Chains A and B, each alone.
Chain A
Amino acid sequence: MADVALRKVVKRYDDVEAVRGIDLDIADHEFIVLVGPSGCGKSTTLRMIAGLEDISDGDIMIGGDVVNDVPPKDRDIAMVFQNYALYPHMTVAENMSFGLRLKHYPKAEIKARVTEAARLLDITDLIDRKPKQLSGGQRQRVAMGRAIVRNPKVFLFDEPLSNLDAKLRVQMRIEIKKVHQKVRTTTVYVTHDQVEAMTLADRVVVMNKGRIEQIGTPNELYHKPATRFVAGFIGSPAMNFIPCRLEDVGSTLQIRLTDRIAFPLPPARAARYNALPRTDKLLLGLRPEHLTESHAHLESGVETFDTVLDVTEPMGMETLVYFGLDGTPVCGRVNPNAGAKDGAPMRLAMDLNNMHLLNEETGVVL
């Protein structure tokens, strides 16, 4: 077990900078998820920690030691690959024990560790099979078993669930979380799936274009995104961004969305945004769950407006409603019994207590 630290890590391929100076501290026992769209540098970062890619600049430390030039085999890490990378000619037991056999561990200890890992992952019956005879989920378990038996300082997962079907993915997600609760090894996990990131991580690192956008717990990222990218990337359906501007009406600060729609800001928000220049182009960031059907007893800070719905999507426990505000598509979440219909007018309520205000040019959440 060990902590991992990245100091201004850069990866260049010829003229392209895939990773542009990353600083990251991962505590012992922590489960960190790197998440971002494809090409954001998350896999490259993971592979640099593993030692499979050289770093162009900066330092990587595992357990306090700089490992920039240490080959993968001497970094005491274990990695689970997207396509599992099991050796097809070896049985499950041989696959899992390969690393230990190379290090000449005593046979009895190898057997004990493999048995223990197999028990933990519930693959004891499969121990003599070849990878070809296993299903995707079983191969995934074996790949994890291969990592666990090594008892490494750090686990690295490179999109381990992408090759599984949706149902199995949810199941394996829980398995991975359970395993981490038991073995408590420092883990770095790469995924492009924000749900996986939110559900697994102690802390999530959101990456974009080779940089870290934000680091935080899943709740911090969801409720206090730092940038437009994070706000839009985390959460499904994504946060709405509605062009708006601030204006003063008498002594109250109000937010104008369209010519027709403007709301006074709740006092706490008004105090926070009061210093902003009124000429700035701004975006109102609002999650769909803060845009619901109107009802009789609204709290303060919740404002209503009338609109005509374009499309509705009944999801069972909720209905997603889509409409336009001056051409900007907006999504809301209403009660399935609220009577939302395609093309029908509806009165909706906007919870401004949970609003975010973003600078349209810089993308920074204000």
Chain B
Amino acid sequence: MADVVVEQGQAVRAARARKPASLRNVLGRKSTVAFFLTLPLILLIALLVLYPAVYSVHLATLNKSMQKFVGFGNFLFLFKRDTFWMVVKQSCIFAVTAVFFKALIGFIVAHFVHNIPAKGQRKWRGMLLVPWVIPPAMSTLAWLWLFDPSYSAFNYTLSFFGIGPINWLGDNVWARFSVILVNIWYGAPFFMIMYLAALKSVPDQLYEAAAIDGANWWQKIWYVTLPMMRNIIAITALFSLIVTFANFDIVRILTSGGPLDQTHIFATWAFKVGIEGSDIPLGASVSLFMVPILAVAAIFILRDVSKRGNEA
């Protein structure tokens, strides 16, 4: 009896000793398999996300000729420039205003489309998506002509009402208004389609229950629609905030940041400083400023989403 016990102990020890040595065992582990299966994605992310991110951080620490390490020098230089703070302010105004109105208009239009009978709905959905489908560089060119101070359709139409001519892109207030307007026009369809999908997923019986409970149309939206759509609203807002903050083409084509840098946002100013001004490290520093701002927004929004995730 005692012999058997000893033998068993030896066998266990032997097995333990053998196990880490065997490559076959290591490869056979679930975690190893999982790692290899995700390796292509990890490599892809490393190549397309991590490398550029790290490289831009590296660039931001060099001097203009990219010969010398200056640490936070570029950032400290930026903090002292009024233009930089103007860009920060304009980026925030641009992104927050545009996202708010994109979401609002998307929400309203989604309700209209939702109430169109199913037969005609596809046609309207398709048409309303057009602004989002056209490459923004092209559609912005069309807007550029619409905004032309002397011969544009806008000013011509307004002249009948005795208004104008408005210097859409030359006056700093109107220029800011114009770039935001075009961004809203371009981005609202995305919100519309997302909200339409969310609206369709709200059971009709909840509205019927609310109707019987005594809710009017506004109370139905406030107490039923909005709570049911909170997650999708949060996620689309975050997604759009990121994209809008990083917008380049609309501002670049409409105003190139003018007049007097008033409409510059991070991406266009980074382009101006970095590429046009041949100061790549300073441009990289400018564009890196988007990261902390967006990170804070993302943390707040996503924290709320995960908190509510297990509710519905």
Residue of A nearest to B310 (CB): A132
Q: Which residues of A contact B223 (CB under 8 A)?
A: 87, 98
Asked if residues A102 and B213 are in contact (CB atoms below 8 Å), the reply is yes
- 50-107 of chain A: CB within 8 A of chain B: 50-52, 71-73, 77-79, 81, 83, 85-89, 98-99, 102-103
Asked if residues B311 and A73 are in contact (CB atoms below 8 Å), the reply is no
Min CB distance, B311 to chain A, in Å?
6
The binding surface of chain B is classed by DSSP as: helix
Asked if residues B214 and A103 are in contact (CB atoms below 8 Å), the reply is yes
- 290-312 of chain B: CB within 8 A of chain A: 308, 310-312
Q: Is B253 an interface residue (CB 8 A)?
A: no
The complex places the Cα of A358 from the Cα of B20 at a distance, in Å, of 86
Q: Which residues of A contact B312 (CB under 8 A)?
A: 88-89, 132
From known contacts A71-B211, A72-B212, infer whether A85 and B228 are also in contact, taking CB-CB under 8 Å.
no
The complex places the Cα of A146 from the Cα of B224 at a distance, in Å, of 16
Q: Is A130 an interface residue (CB 8 A)?
A: yes
From known contacts A72-B212, A79-B212, A102-B213, infer whether A85 and B205 are also in contact, taking CB-CB under 8 Å.
yes
The complex places the Cα of A50 from the Cα of B205 at a distance, in Å, of 13
The complex places the Cα of A88 from the Cα of B225 at a distance, in Å, of 11
Asked if residues B311 and A132 are in contact (CB atoms below 8 Å), the reply is yes
- 80-98 of chain B: CB within 8 A of chain A: none
Q: How large is the interface on B (under 10, 10 to 19, 20 to 34, 35 or more residues)?
A: 20 to 34
Min CB distance, A100 to chain B, in Å?
9
Q: Is B159 an interface residue (CB 8 A)?
A: no
Q: Which residues of A contact B205 (CB under 8 A)?
A: 81, 83, 85
Q: Which residues of A contact B206 (CB under 8 A)?
A: 85, 87
Partner of A73, one of B212, B224, B227, B310: B212
Asked if residues B208 and A89 are in contact (CB atoms below 8 Å), the reply is no
- 187-218 of chain B: CB within 8 A of chain A: 203, 205-206, 208-216
Asked if residues A87 and B224 are in contact (CB atoms below 8 Å), the reply is yes
The complex places the Cα of A97 from the Cα of B310 at a distance, in Å, of 23
Asked if residues B224 and A52 are in contact (CB atoms below 8 Å), the reply is no
Q: Which residues of B contact A51 (CB under 8 A)?
A: 211-212
Q: Which residues of A contact B209 (CB under 8 A)?
A: 79, 81, 85-87, 146
Q: Which residues of A contact B219 (CB under 8 A)?
A: 102
Min CB distance, A83 to chain B, in Å?
6
Q: Which residues of B contact A146 (CB under 8 A)?
A: 209, 213
Residue of A nearest to B202 (CB): A88
Min CB distance, A107 to chain B, in Å?
17
Asked if residues B311 and A102 are in contact (CB atoms below 8 Å), the reply is no
Cβ contacts A105-137/B at 8 Å (1 or 0 each)? 000000000000000000000000010100000
Residue of B nearest to A143 (CB): B209
The complex places the Cα of A72 from the Cα of B212 at a distance, in Å, of 5
Q: Which residues of A contact B215 (CB under 8 A)?
A: 73, 102
The complex places the Cα of A88 from the Cα of B219 at a distance, in Å, of 16
A-B CB contact pairs (8 Å), 8 listed: A73-B212, A73-B213, A85-B205, A87-B206, A98-B210, A99-B213, A132-B312, A146-B213
Which B residues lie at the A interface, using CB under 8 A?
203, 205-206, 208-216, 219, 223-224, 227-228, 230, 308, 310-312
Known A73-B214, A87-B209, A102-B215; 6 more pairs at CB < 8 Å:
A81-B208, A89-B227, A89-B308, A89-B312, A98-B213, A102-B214
